[in-house]
Structure 1
């Protein structure tokens, strides 16, 4: 890719050539079509390459399959992408968030598509007004970093999974968080945003101390680490304050900085070694770290 960009630059730097009469008319090539993928489109494609949203197998993430027999609890549902994936698999869903508007909007989507019982709750999750063992699958993604007391929060998650329940948990990776600390506005690391930074060791210990058995771990998302840096730069240029719900602001129309990064990443992935390069960068500077864990069959109530 770099060589191709250099060739383009060098070609543009050459003086114009005068066509000789015997060469015939100069035929101009058609312009390249405009790049129409948004940063969120590219980010979704990047996630699919990491094993997310596998519609054919019904796996939200490779190793975390959802079936019509499941009752899925999504704590901190946000925009509802994970909840709606579970709905499309025919599962019953329970979804919670601390923001009323998010729960209301997601409830409308669920009601329009879900044929099984569903429940939406506005709650900060300490505690949730749900019975012990109410869910066979529990999801809590990019939430724990916002929580003042993550260990009691984790215990509450474990309480609501039935024996044998499978958990899908994620938090930001520390490398990307520390990098953004020099670029993001200060309030991004204050309530209600990211007030916890989890090392891989701390994250795993918290999950295991709560009584779960870890089955799978992965880290990925270099695209979004860089994407957030370009987001902060574009927000500052526009004089914007990101406030509390940062990801909600990453919407069309996208700033040219973010759109340009999306195009660069998309083109890189099209190269013969694009996927291998992505995997190296994901390990070098991941955006998120993910754990799939299971509640033991003989587990009692976690207090």
Structure 2
């Protein structure tokens, strides 16, 4: 499930250095690697990073990694990243800032490590679908490592601008996932055996695996209203001459 628009808003050309901050299961790292990037998946979870490393190897064996591209993993804290200033052409931060108390510290680190003229893609849960989840279920967000805040889009963009980044595009994504999470919250976030939850999950898996026209077109139409994720793309200004 890819949240970022790699085709137009956030292009990754062969040989570009790409950092996936809070890489999670690696979905954006894998896509950047397929496009020829020199990718670093960065996360606090050593088990997730181990899985990503295995997948990087499998992609290479399957011939999915273009010549000159590479994928590596690194463990660490997004509030203080072990990279030199201006190290990366592209930085991705997908669904991570809502988990971190010191979100502006992470934004400052992102600004520091991206090259002048480089691009940053950030996504967080959209405010109103997220508010529904919080109202339906306390366990949805009151867990260790869970969501600690709900961003308004304007609030997120303003914080990123204060960090020095310049936004140039934004959109919403994953409209079909909003009702799924409302349903899960209504029956209990951990109740994966609920028949309705299982049926909806099968629909989402079918959509991701087959990408049928009917669900892809429906989601595109619904994203502006129902999209679960808010995505903003930003550029680090060039150094003044």
TM over 0.5: yes
Whether the aligned pair in 2 keeps the contact of 1:184 and 1:229 (CA below 8 Å) is no
Whether the aligned pair in 1 keeps the contact of 2:33 and 2:70 (CA below 8 Å) is no
Aligned to 1:68: 14
Whether the aligned pair in 1 keeps the contact of 2:171 and 2:224 (CA below 8 Å) is no
In 2, Cα distance between equivalents of 1:213 and 1:193: 28
Aligned to 1:12: none
Q: 2:199 aligns with which of 256, 260, 270?
A: 260
Judging changes above 3 Å, is the alpha-carbon distance between structure 1 residues 125 and 222 closer, same or farther for their aligned structure 2 residues? same
State the 1:285 CA deviation: 3.0
In 2, Cα distance between equivalents of 1:76 and 1:104: 14
1:154-188 CA deviation, whole Å, 9 max, x = no partner?
00011110111111110111101110112233352
Aligned to 1:107: 53
Structure 1 stretches lacking a partner, 5+ long: 1-43, 54-58, 242-249
SS in 1 for 2:182: helix
Q: 1:288 aligns with which of 219, 229, 232?
A: 229
| Count of paired positions | 228
In 1, Cα distance between equivalents of 2:213 and 2:141: 30
State the 1:81 CA deviation: 1.0
SS in 2 for 1:182: helix
Larger Rg: 1
In 2, Cα distance between equivalents of 1:81 and 1:220: 15
State the 1:107 CA deviation: 1.4
RMSD: 2.9
State the 1:280 CA deviation: 5.5
In 1, Cα distance between equivalents of 2:26 and 2:220: 27
Structure 2 stretches lacking a partner, 5+ long: none
Indicate whether 1:144 and 2:90 are aligned. Answer: no
Whether the aligned pair in 1 keeps the contact of 2:20 and 2:29 (CA below 8 Å) is yes
TM-score by length of 1: 0.67
TM-score by length of 2: 0.83
Aligned to 2:113: 160
Judging changes above 3 Å, is the alpha-carbon distance between structure 1 residues 222 and 299 closer, same or farther for their aligned structure 2 residues? farther
Aligned to 2:214: 270
Whether the aligned pair in 2 keeps the contact of 1:69 and 1:91 (CA below 8 Å) is yes
Aligned to 1:35: none
Whether the aligned pair in 2 keeps the contact of 1:60 and 1:82 (CA below 8 Å) is no
State the 1:235 CA deviation: 4.4
SS in 2 for 1:222: coil
Superposed, 1:149-298 pairs within 5 Å as 149-186=102-139, 188-233=141-186, 235=188, 240=190, 255-261=194-200, 263=203, 270=214, 275=217, 278-279=219-220, 281-298=222-239
